[in-house]
Structure 1
Amino acid sequence: MATLRKIREIYRRVRRKYNPQSHQYEPIPGETSPSANQTFSSTSPSTSGSFVTAREDISPQSLLSIHQVDSLSSTLSSSSDPLIPRIRSSNMDKHFFNILILGFSFLLLFTAFQTGGMIQETVVKGVNQEYAKQWNGHSWSGYTSLSIVYLVFSIANWIAPSIVAIFGPKTSMIMAAVIYCLYIGSFLYPLWWTLSAASAVLGLGAAVIWTAQGNLLTLNSNQSTIGRNSGVFWALFQGSLIFGNIFVSFQFKGIDIIDEKTRQTTYSGLLGAGIAGTILMFMLRSYPASETNEKPVGPVQALYDSFTLFRTKAMVLMFFTFAYTGIAQSFITGVYVNSIGFTKAIGENRKTFVGVAGCLIGIGETIGGGIFGIFGKKTAKLGRDPIVFFGLILHIAAYAGVFINLPFNANLGDTDESSIIPTSLPLALVCSFLLGLGDACMNTQIYSQIGSFYESNSAPAFAIFKFVQSLFSSLFFFFTSEITLNIQIYIMVGTAILGSITFFIVEQAARRKSRSADITPSIAGDDVKDGITNPAYVKDTIGQSTTTLVVP
């Protein structure tokens, strides 16, 4: 109600021409007072004081969302009225607070999971020796564990929107975070069956937490802030790789086989970070449905929406982009860093450099996310596709470096085989940074694209993204112990090029559609013929947006 009162005050003021010299509101010749139920549309001002044009073609019962309030405030920002900056600031601050809490909670939680996942194959080598008698000859593979996680993750993405619809994004996220903590705890005293069960259950938790995260990111963003918020979240989230791997590099220093004491100390520290991140999630603020563009749906409808959206043209094209991010994620966070640790030519402290490489990946991810967050408005002018193509160039350069620098069998275990050139630790670390920076370029723009295209239907859209991504992560982890490093690089280069091309096609199609259509964004105004429920996002970036406002 407070927001509505402020909007009424804005309306009363901007219907008169504000004179900053006299600090008075001067009547506009020929203007009449509006009726209480009249509908208005804000447009870019053509003359000072002429900010609002009356319209009567939209029902006064239409909902007023915080996104529309933010858009109106942005349109009126050229006014010298002293009230308007305060309105815009008060609306944005509480939503940006949620983005920060979301980012910091994921930083802590994924300091546990991402770091634990990176070192898992290295740690499991020691676990297999330690538990050889108890497991009666059975052995465990870190790649198998992650393959199970991502396989269940991909399947569970179809029911995750229904779970989020039942419990809400905040509660769903907290429940999933508890599962992450249980998974990390399973490595303190590992049993073969507990590792298997924990991996499967974590897949369900991952589907829920990422669907809820995408939903919360969209609910707390609008067309002008989605790029910034995606970048800020990504920078904070990937900071987990920096802190976690600094910790690991000290823990593993001078150690060839990870013993029980080192493993328990490492995973106890990671578990503590995960618990702290879970507790921080309780600080997330919830808002009434009337303050969002997201329409509440039931669990059955959420499942139906997911299947419907998956068959649309845009999603079919984006399938290849999503698939590449899944393959790249597996290689970057699982295969590559362990390959460094398995390459004997790097030296006796090669296990230490598993953590250093992971840290540099995190620095690249954080710098990329930070650039797109801090300079979000400037990068938005470039468009999303140039940033994705820049990420493609970085990744191809990194893959070329890995191809010539590491033995082709380095992903399979300790090796003293030679590579195409003498193995160079500095080159391996530079490639780590390039992989992280390129990954940030691609993922932040995918988040921004989904948040823009599917503003009113974000949970199913993010669930589909994570379904495809996690499915290909699972497949890649499953086959990574069967195919050598060079074959993996061929696969990644091919899918990277294909995924970048399809991303470009979707972006260009949306731009053409928005330029040829006279679109007024509204809460219920979904156009799902091609899968894009909010194709008007481009108009916001080129200063042509028209936002419907109902004054009660």
Structure 2
Amino acid sequence: MDEDKPLHMVIHSPRRGSTNNDGDDPPSEEVVVEISLVTKDSSYKKMNSQKFGFLKQVLGPSFLNKGFFNVVILGFSFFLLFAAFGTTQSFVTTVRKSEGFVSLSILYAVFAFSNFFAPSFCQLLTPKYACIIGALCYCLFVFAAGFESTVLFYSASVVNGFGAAMVWCAQGTMITQSAVVAQNKVKKSQSNDESGKKSVEVMGLFSGVFFAIFQLNSIFGNSLAGALFGAGMSNFQLFLILSIIAVVGVGLMLAIRPISKSEVEDIDEEKAPTDEPTYGAIGGSYFNKIIHKIKVYFTEELSGQAKQFVALLKESILVLVSPKMLVFSVISFHSGFGSSYFTGSLPPIVGKTMLGWVMIMFGITQVSGALISGKMLDKIGKRVTMIFTLVIYCIAIALSSQMVYWGKELKDNKLDESFNAPIYLLFFVNMALFGLSDSFLTNTIYGILGSKNYYKKKNTAEAFAAFKMTQSLSSAVGFFCGIYLTVNTIQIIIACSYVACLIAFFILEKFVAPVDCEKKKKPTALLI
């Protein structure tokens, strides 16, 4: 018997008010009773179907939905690319000292101002190819780090700064588009099955998956660097191997599937007809047709692209100076300055021998934080996740003062060897907290800027570009401070930056634009 099918039983009962002339028993009435036998196995199947129903809707039966597929491919390509770049960034301030700080300051300064133009290039080249071109600039920087030429190293920093703006603008746009594709798929399935069901948000899930894969780069890159340095390899050999890894990451980006404009349109909105330019039939030879195409390109298409570029540039500036983004830029500044602190100022305190292993712990907590924060964003909201993030960040900043003090004492050989183990443990714990807080903060920022109720879809690229501009500018300031200021002075600055971040989030939440508030359409008035 099938355990999931209901059991039918027929019960014969006498008809009410019916008697027989012969005095016999009244005729009976058949009553069909349906009994559902719910077994432990069937209830378990129901529970599983409810639990994984959302994933089936988002990913599809083949688990190769275009949106999710692109996020995974993008995550692995960034994993390889930044395994090379992140390791180079961590070691360059230790191996090349002042040159490393100057190069990173140049890189992030160019990165900051290039964000004005990045959305325009991203739109014209498409996010996929803008990301590939920008990623090649990262490869050049990693390769140049292996040479002793200062001019080459600084020139590569300038090129990388421009490429980084395109990479991160394209990355934010691609994740948002992938999330919209998945959400539209869920909406369609819900309209077919249960029209009254509440719509779901997948932006937090997708950004969490991306950053979980991406932030594995800290573990892989620093493990590789620690092993290669332990094997006695030179700086050139190390950066050459890292360059090859970066190029493989760029090649993986070619597998990203293109997303058309129709796929990212909200299915609830009416699609406006688009007027596409048409050209009349041209008589004559094949050569004349080619000449006509060249004329059309230089007279119409090229001028159209120039106008579009200027229009996108204006939109970027308008988003940047909007009240919402001006307040949000304080949070972005703290994110960037904090990044320069724990990747530039703290690594020399740890030392070259222990740096690779400490940064592995940093990477592990970054991956864990990305997965946890992505789930928290979708389940309990952006407000609670941001508050939790700021609490962890506060503990990490406070603990770093002890890390700097005891690290200097250890470096100057002022302590007994019995203190080495506790101090090394302090290094691991403190960097783990910074990794956790950094991934939480980055993922929360992406969750806020990428949500459909915070910025219009057409301004998503501009919003991410404005965020990356402020973040990279503050990183440039942080690396520049590392050249002239002591670590203790930088600690005071980051503490002030943290307090400003707290105040900005309070103002944003209470007075400007609540991060969890959904925009509701105004009901149309009915004339009676």
Residue 433 of structure 1, CA deviation: 0.3
For residue 252 of structure 1, give the secondary structure of its aligned residue in structure 2: helix
Q: Map 1:191-202 onto structure 2 (within 5 A).
A: 191-202=149-160
CA-atom RMSD, angstroms? 3.2
- Residue type matched to 1:429 in 2? F
What TM-score results when the alignment is normalised by the length of structure 1?
A: 0.68
For residue 188 of structure 1, give the secondary structure of its aligned residue in structure 2: coil
Residue 85 of structure 1, CA deviation: 6.6
**Are the aligned partners of 1:232 and 1:372 in contact in 2 as well (CA < 8 Å)?**
no
Alpha-carbon distance in structure 1 between the residues aligned to 2:516 and 2:522: 10
Q: Which residue does 1:364 correspond to in 2?
A: 365
Residue 409 of structure 1, CA deviation: 9.4
Q: Which residue does 1:278 correspond to in 2?
A: 250
| Greater percentage in helix | 2
Unaligned runs of 5+ in 1: 1-19, 22-76, 126-139, 256-260, 342-350, 521-552
Residue 181 of structure 1, CA deviation: 0.7
Q: Map 1:171-320 onto structure 2 (within 5 A).
A: 171-222=129-180, 224-253=201-230, 261-293=233-265, 298-320=308-330
**Are the aligned partners of 2:365 and 2:433 in contact in 1 as well (CA < 8 Å)?**
yes
Q: Which residue does 1:533 correspond to in 2?
A: none
Alpha-carbon distance in structure 2 between the residues aligned to 1:85 and 1:220: 16
For residue 287 of structure 1, give the secondary structure of its aligned residue in structure 2: coil
Alpha-carbon distance in structure 1 between the residues aligned to 2:260 and 2:328: 32
Give the percent of matched residue pairs that are identical in Structure 1 and Structure 2. Answer: 31
Alpha-carbon distance in structure 2 between the residues aligned to 1:186 and 1:479: 23
1:327 counterpart = 2:316: no
Residue 390 of structure 1, CA deviation: 1.8
**Are the aligned partners of 1:385 and 1:504 in contact in 2 as well (CA < 8 Å)?**
no
1:502 aligned residue (497, 501, 504)? 504
1:100 counterpart = 2:72: yes
State the 4+ residue runs in structure 1 displaced beyond 6 angstroms.
Answer: 84-88, 294-297
Residue 141 of structure 1, CA deviation: 1.6
For residue 486 of structure 1, give the secondary structure of its aligned residue in structure 2: helix
1:109 aligned residue (58, 67, 81)? 81
Residue 399 of structure 1, CA deviation: 2.0
Q: Which residue does 1:384 correspond to in 2?
A: 382
**Are the aligned partners of 1:111 and 1:243 in contact in 2 as well (CA < 8 Å)?**
yes
Q: Which residue does 2:294 correspond to in 1?
A: none
**Are the aligned partners of 2:448 and 2:515 in contact in 1 as well (CA < 8 Å)?**
no
- Residue type matched to 2:426 in 1? L
**Are the aligned partners of 2:111 and 2:162 in contact in 1 as well (CA < 8 Å)?**
yes
For residue 407 of structure 1, give the secondary structure of its aligned residue in structure 2: helix
Unaligned runs of 5+ in 2: 7-48, 181-199, 267-271, 273-304, 524-528
Alpha-carbon distance in structure 1 between the residues aligned to 2:393 and 2:361: 15
**Are the aligned partners of 2:177 and 2:259 in contact in 1 as well (CA < 8 Å)?**
no
For residue 405 of structure 2, give the secondary structure of its aligned residue in structure 1: coil
Residue 502 of structure 1, CA deviation: 2.0
**Which one has a bigger Cα radius of gyration?**
2
- Residue type matched to 2:78 in 1? F
**Are the aligned partners of 2:146 and 2:238 in contact in 1 as well (CA < 8 Å)?**
no
Alpha-carbon distance in structure 2 between the residues aligned to 1:381 and 1:478: 39
What TM-score results when the alignment is normalised by the length of structure 2?
A: 0.71
The one-character-per-residue Cα deviations of 1:197-216 (angstroms, maximum 9, x if unpaired) are 01111100111100111111
Alpha-carbon distance in structure 1 between the residues aligned to 2:408 and 2:100: 15
Number of aligned residue pairs: 409
**Are the aligned partners of 1:409 and 1:484 in contact in 2 as well (CA < 8 Å)?**
no
Change (3 A) 1:154 1:418: farther
Q: Map 1:374-523 onto structure 2 (within 5 A).
A: 376=375, 379-407=377-405, 415=412, 424-452=423-451, 453-454=454-455, 455-508=457-510, 509-511=512-514, 514=517, 517-518=520-521
**Are the aligned partners of 1:407 and 1:417 in contact in 2 as well (CA < 8 Å)?**
no
